[in-house]
Amino acid sequence: MQFVSSTQPQSSTQTAPQSSAPAQAPTPAAARTADSAFIRACRSEPVPHTPVWFMRQAGRALPEYHKVREGVPMLESCFMPEMVAEITMQPVRRYGVDAAIYFSDIVVPLKAIGVGVEIKPGVGPVIAEPVRTLADLDRLRAPEPEELAPIAAAVRLLTEELCERPLIGFGGAPFTLASYLIEGGPSKGHERTKAMMYGDPELFTALLDRIADITSGFLLTQIDAGASAIQLFDSWVGAVAPVDYRKYVQPASAKVFAAVASRGVPRIHFGVGTGELLRDLADAGADVVGVDWRVPLDEAARRVGPGKAFQGNLDPATLFAPPAALDAAVQRVLDDAAELPGHVFNLGHGVPPNADPGQLARVVDYVHENTVRS
């Protein structure tokens, strides 16, 4: 199979997403998936079985992923619709998961608008010119439709193949994207990020607001092309104290959720190490709160309060345990979720790159076989 890369023309016009638009009719693809177990669980409706999918299920641990992407840089692959569709479908074919997650990276919309970013193997996203001053914001604007045309094309290919199985749209939350832009790459302590947050809050909040527009455009493109739900990933926000999250971070994440609200698709919010932020993540506008493995799901529900569904939260490390121990860990998550209004089974973080695909298949089979409702 040959894959062709698409280029992204640049434009200087900035458009802000509308948060007060009237509700729109679902796309045909979203309408087809409305009665799926995944969408019903996201809406806290009765389900035939607990739906399951895995963060980072597309790629990394799959040999077929490495074969199809051989010699193709990560970000280049994200602008090749046929390759994106193939990679996204690989875990669906292998595991029989209840939803596909769009194969991408959180920095893709930055790349689309011309930000100098590359993903270095073993390092992660590296920014050529970090954001350090107010003038640096001039390089950041909402993406134009033609710049995201390859993303829309890939989604359309996927929804045709997935039929009644939902596709989850993918986007990076403002804080996590801001941390990459400020630090210039991955950071353990987020020192520069927090220094800006405390020392120049006007610049920091302006940066997050600008990123909210970028992420909103990225997610709206996926929804309008047929994605049935979206997940906002805030990988590094667990480094922020709750009082700082509410003051500096939550408004930008809320702007993203508001921007896609009129599309009527379920909105999932996930962060790592966010046990103390669960209620705040929910209050940003999520319909489904993703929970990592550190907090049991029943305790997460107590912290959040009523009105939300939950996603999670098997410890990824259990994938390396013997089968009987893995089964017991999966059952413990199901027991913790027994009284939840809606539950989507997932890992508490992404699939480790060295995980055995057979163990992931075992998890899917166990969840499906042990949660059948009459």
Residues 359 and 319 sit within 8 Å (Cβ to Cβ):
yes
CA dihedral 203, 207, 208, 210 (to 10 degrees): 140
Structural domains present in the chain: 28-370 (3.20.20.210)
Distance CA 115, CA 181 (A): 10
Residue with the bigger pLDDT between 317 and 26: it is: 317
User: Which residues are identified as catalytic?
Assistant: 56, 60, 69, 105, 180
Give 244-299 pLDDT, tens digit per residue.
999 999 999 999 999 999 999 999 999 999 999 999 999 999 999 999 999 999 99
Please give the average per-residue pLDDT across 296-315, as a whole number: 98
Give the pLDDT of residue 60. Answer: 87
Average pLDDT, the chain: 94
> Nearest 5°: CA angle at 174, between 156 and 7?
40
pLDDT > 90? residue 12: no
Residue type, 231: Q
The pLDDT tens digits of the residues spanning 346-373 come to 999 999 999 999 999 999 999 999 999 8
Is residue 153's pLDDT more than 50?
Answer: yes
CB-based contact 186:53 (threshold 8 Å): no
Cα–Cα distance, 36 to 310 (Å, whole number): 16
Q: Residue 26: pLDDT band by 50, 70, 90 thresholds? A: confident
Global pTM reads: 0.93
Spatial contact of 314 and 345, defined as CB atoms under 8 Å apart: yes
Shortest CA distance to 362 belongs to which of 333, 322, 306? 322
Question: Beta-carbon neighbour count of residue 153 at 10 Å?
Answer: 18
**Is the confidence at residue 8, as pLDDT, over 60?**
no
Checking DSSP bridges between strand 229-234 and strand 267-271, what pairing results, if any?
parallel
d(Cα 322, Cα 343) in Å, to the nearest integer? 25
Length of the chain in terms of residues written:
374
Predicted confidence at residue 4, as pLDDT, reads 58
* Strand ranges inside the chain, DSSP E: 100-101, 117-120, 124-127, 167-172, 229-234, 267-271, 288-290, 309-314, 343-347
What percent of the chain is modeled with pLDDT above 90? Answer: 91
Q: Which of 14-28, 114-128, 193-207, 232-246 bottoms out in mean pLDDT, i.e. has the lowest?
A: 14-28
Indicate the Cα dihedral angle 188, 189, 194, 196, nearest 10°.
-70
| pLDDT value at residue 21 | 62
Cβ neighbours around 282 below 10 Å, total: 20
What confidence score (pLDDT) does residue 163 get?
A: 96
